[in-house]
Structures are given as C-alpha cells and as structure tokens.
Structure 1
Amino acid sequence: MKKIGQSTIIGIIFLGMCGCNSVKPTDLTNSNQVTNQADSQAQKIIKIGGSSSTVTVLKLLAQAYQSQNKTVKIEFISNSQSEGAIAALKNDIIDIAGSSHKLKPEEDNGKIQYRELAQDLLVVATHNSVKGVTNLSTKQLKSIYKGDITNWRELGGANADIVLLDRPEDESAKKLLRKYYLGEEKTTAKAVILNKEGELIETLQSTPNSLGAFSLASSLINKLPVNHLSLNGVAPKAQNFATGKYQMVRHIGILWEKSPSATTQGFIDFIFSEEGEKLLQNNGFVTAK
C-alpha cells in the first residue's frame, strides 16, 4: 500500500509539472501574431540615402507618399555623395539610393537597378542685396570664377566685393558649370568652398553680395529670397530647357534592389506614377521621359 501511494503522489506531481510547463495552442497563436505584427512594422520602414543634390526631390516625394500611407515611415540616412549612397544600397544599409549619375559598370553588382527620375536645372543666383545685375554672359561668369571680376560694379551693380560660393570639383554642380560655362580655367583661391549644396544655399541667403550655383527646384520649393540670373540672356526655366536654350541641368535618378520588399516597391510605384510626375513638375523639376 505504501508503494502504491508513493507512486500515485509522484504521478500527480509529474502531471502538475507538465501542466505548468505546457503551452496551449492559443498561446502559440498569440505569440505568432505578436511576431508577425512586429515583422510587419519593420517591413514598413523605408531607408533612403543619396547625394545632397537628390535629397530635395526624394523628400518631396516621401512627404506626399507618407501623407497617404500612414503606416509607412520613410527615414533619410545622412547625406553622402552618390557613390556612398550606392555602396550603402549594395550593403543593405538603405533601400533606395539617390544619385546624380547613372549606374557605372564598376558599381553594378547585378542585384541593383537604376532609373532616371527627373532633371533639375542648375541656377546661378545671388543674395537679394545684389541689385542691377540680372544676366551674365559666359565670359563674365568665367571671369568671376577665375577672380578677374571681383566687384559687382564691373557688372553694372553696386560698389561691393563679390563673394563667390563654390562646390568641390567632384560635385555635379561644379562639373556642370565647367561643362557649359567655365571650361578648365582654374577657380580663384578666394572662393568659399562648401561641401554640401544645403550649406551653399544657407550661406548664399545669409551672405550679402554672394553668388553661387545650385538646384532651381530647391529654390522654388523653399521660396528662397534670392535672385535667379539669366545666362547669355536665357532665364533658368523649364520651358527654356525643353526648347534646348538652357542646357545646364542635373540628371537625378534612384537605385534599388531588383527584388525589393513590397513596402519599398509601393513607394517606387508612387514615384513613377502620374501623381508623382505631376508633383515634380509643379515644383520646378523636369520629369524624365
């Protein structure tokens, strides 16, 4: 009798322990739901990186898309050059890269793709303190960058020294200036070199008698209080670019993985939709054909 009693007690204890550690099907279901919800939320974050010249257009599109898709969060990684953004994309750090140049053969790993998004006119502008100067010839602009013309009085303006704001030689803005106006002439050592376009725009607005070149769309979107200069009598306007009169334009494209997440694909579809195209056109960009 003692043996039977002990066995019964041990069995009851064993069953109790099993009962405490057992997992009900409903517990598994709830656990899976929590996991799936977390995964779903993680998939709805889109990370974007790009050169400073591409951030304006991508933020414009991101803001419009997020206003329609409240569950999607678009994060912008710190700005870099196009090459850095493409490298980040290939290393799965970001989902979309903005670039001011097409995908180069040496950058292509076979897993990413490029598509041109828009064309952004480059405008030469001055601080709003500059009066009497609305147009520059190629010769005049070249002389400013060389340091041969140093005072606005030489161009019909007031007696004030020109403050030249410039970009590094490897930046798209400086490359375009050289291609269409400056040639290979050396830039004056007195030029103030600013690494990012945003820095140039801020400095131009806060520095009397300054001149610099940057995105026309950025100027229009942000309604910057600066003077846009015509070049050789041609105003920096989309219609003048369409007719071939104004040629200084920067090509903006995006890159993404060939098999993106559904969330990333949704944003890309919006970017190239009629709505996205109209948004860009209304803000000074020339949409890619």
Structure 2
Amino acid sequence: MKKIVQSTIISIIFFGMCGCNSFKPTDLTTSNQVTNQTDSQSQKIIKIGGSSSTITVLKLLAQAYQSQNKTVKIEFISNSQSEGAIAALKNDIIDIAGSSHKLKPEEDNGKIQYREIAQDLLLVATNNSVKGVNNLSTKQLKAIYKGEITNWRELGGADANIVVLDRPEDESAKKLLRKYYLGTEKTTTKAVILNKEGELIETLQSTPNSIGAFSLAYSLINKSPVNHLSLNGVAPKSQNFANGKYQMVRHIGILSDKVPSAPTQGFIDFILSKEGEKVLQNNGFVPAK
C-alpha cells in the first residue's frame, strides 16, 4: 500500500512538470520570484464594481489617481445595479462599490461604510433630429411618458412620432424622473426599455425623434451630440442646482470595508481630497459637501 501511495505522488509530480514547458533547475527559482512579484502586485490591485451610473465617475477618478501612483492598478468589475456591487463588496470580491443610493439597513452587515462623493445632474435630452423643442413643462413631459403626446408637432416641433427611451422602474434615473416630474402614472407600453444608461445614451444618439433621461456629466464628458432640454424653463446646469432651481440630481457614493487595505484607503483619500473634487468639477459633477 505504501509503495502505491509513493508511486501516485511521484506520478503527480512528474505529470505536473510535464504540463509546463521543458522544466529546468532554474525554473523553480524563477517561479518563486514570479509568485512573490505577483503577491506584491496583488496587494496593490484595487477592484471596483458599481452600477452603470457610478462607473463613469469612478473611472475618471481612477485614471487621475493611477497617473500619479504607478504601483497601483485599479480594475473594474461591471455590475448592472448598486445592489450587485454591494453584495460583491460584502463577499470580498471587490474593494470598493459604487452606489446611487445610501446603504440600506438590510444591506448593512456592520463591516462596510458609505460615503457620498458627488451629485450627478440628470437631464432630459432628445436626438439631434428634434428641432423646435427646447423646453418641456412637467405636464408635457408626463404626457410624453404616458403616451398622450406622441408627435413632436404637438410641442412645436416637426411632424414626427416621438420615440420614448426609458429605464427599468428600479433604476435611479427612472426613480428620479418619477419623483420630480412623472409621478405614479404608468409609462406607455410603447416605450423602449434599456437596462443600462450607456445603452440608452447610444440609442438616443442613433435613433431619430427619440427622448430619454441620463447623466449630464456623461453627456459633457463624451460631448454627446444631443439636445439638452430645459424643464419648466430651467436648464440642467450645475449653477441651477446650486441655487436650488434644478433638483433632479442623483447622489453617487462609494462603499468600502470600515478598515480597508492600505491601497484602497489611499484611493479613497484621493477621492475625498481637494484634487479629487477638482476632477469631479472639471467633468460636470458636483462634489459632495
């Protein structure tokens, strides 16, 4: 029995070696060196996940931080919603979660914490093909989303059917539209539902006569060729948010362990610093107070 066990161990070692390229005595030393280097590097890798609405701002901050800290690598793991990112954080899959809502009691395991970092204005925009419509009242916007107004001609535009691009009801953009403008009325069944904000923006840019709501900062960063609409005569601009005239804004925050790793803490410190605030301001976000 002892001989059989020894034979099995030798076979495992032999075939393990054969699985590599031709083995040389120096390979063992090289392998150890590579492992040590990998371990060292892995300690400086920061993994981030978040909803599509938060990833844009976190990538901007990550780019600015990595330009100054070459030894730190920031990787993004895509999640479709804040809830998924928070779950990944609690399961140690990521180091930082981007969220468009504060930590809910049922999400709090006592080991993570939330920090708000920015406000992101949401705008209502149309495809560039829409002419003659620059402002909508709450009543008009409601009627569009309910399917009561279906042609741009009814709003002073050309004779063309309105294409409503929308987000799922549990997404932050749709929740804010309901809170400030739409109320509880059902959205028309003809609306095109897009799960991710990026998908909505791409579709809006490529679909004539379409309308949708998304991040002002994203539009400014990417110089999106779309028409920004004023709502009740108020343009979606940061100064109008500052003076309280424009209220449709999404709060963006980050979650991390209460005692994060040193690399993660370094990035968080940068986000909350004056330099981090400058990155946010330069890209259309309003830094959190």
Instruction: Name the TM tier (shorter chain).
Output: 0.7 to 0.9
Question: Structure 2: how far apart are the matches of 1:251 and 1:223?
Answer: 22
Question: Structure 1: how far apart are the matches of 2:259 and 2:139?
Answer: 49
Question: Structure 2: how far apart are the matches of 1:213 and 1:35?
Answer: 48
Moved more, 142-151 or 32-41: 32-41
Query: Secondary structure in 2 aligned to 1:185?
Result: coil
Give the corresponding residue for 1:245.
Answer: 245
Which ranges of 4 or more aligned residues in structure 1 deviate by more than 4 Å?
Answer: 29-36
Question: Structure 1: how far apart are the matches of 2:237 and 2:30?
Answer: 58
Larger Rg: 1
Q: Which amino acid aligns with 2:109?
A: N
The answer to whether the Cα contact below 8 Å between 1:120 and 1:217 also exists between their aligned partners in 2 is yes
Give the corresponding residue for 1:172.
Answer: 172
Question: Structure 1: how far apart are the matches of 2:195 and 2:156?
Answer: 30
- Which sections of structure 2, spanning at least 5 residues, go unmatched? 1-28
Give the corresponding residue for 2:16.
Answer: none
Give the superposition deviation at 1:215. Answer: 0.4
Query: Secondary structure in 1 aligned to 2:49?
Result: strand
- Superimposed CA distance per residue, residues 124-153 of structure 1 (whole angstroms, 9 cap, x where no aligned partner): 000011110000000000000000000011
Verify: 1:233 aligned to 2:253, yes or no: no
Question: Structure 2: how far apart are the matches of 1:99 and 1:259?
Answer: 19
Give the corresponding residue for 1:121.
Answer: 121
Name the CA shift for 1:146/1:62 in 2 (closer, same or farther; >3 Å).
same
- Superimposed CA distance per residue, residues 8-66 of structure 1 (whole angstroms, 9 cap, x where no aligned partner): xxxxxxxxxxxxxxxxxxxxx99987654332111111110001110110011111111
Question: Structure 2: how far apart are the matches of 1:34 and 1:198?
Answer: 39
Give the superposition deviation at 1:170. Answer: 0.5
What's the TM-score once normalised by structure 2's chain length?
Answer: 0.88
Query: Secondary structure in 2 aligned to 1:77?
Result: strand
- Superimposed CA distance per residue, residues 68-120 of structure 1 (whole angstroms, 9 cap, x where no aligned partner): 11221111112221111000000000000000000011111111110001000
CA-based RMSD: 1.6
Query: Secondary structure in 1 aligned to 2:67?
Result: helix
Give the corresponding residue for 2:157.
Answer: 157
The answer to whether the Cα contact below 8 Å between 1:49 and 1:80 also exists between their aligned partners in 2 is no
The answer to whether the Cα contact below 8 Å between 2:51 and 2:78 also exists between their aligned partners in 1 is no
Q: Which amino acid aligns with 2:104?
A: K
Aligned residue pair count: 262
Question: Structure 2: how far apart are the matches of 1:37 and 1:205?
Answer: 45
Identity %: 89
- Superimposed CA distance per residue, residues 182-211 of structure 1 (whole angstroms, 9 cap, x where no aligned partner): 001110000000001010001000101100
Question: Structure 1: how far apart are the matches of 2:107 and 2:166?
Answer: 28
The answer to whether the Cα contact below 8 Å between 2:51 and 2:100 also exists between their aligned partners in 1 is yes
Give the corresponding residue for 2:74.
Answer: 74
Give the corresponding residue for 2:265.
Answer: 265
Give the corresponding residue for 1:193.
Answer: 193
What aligned pairs does 1:40-79 form with structure 2 within 5 A after superposition? 40-79=40-79
Give the corresponding residue for 1:216.
Answer: 216
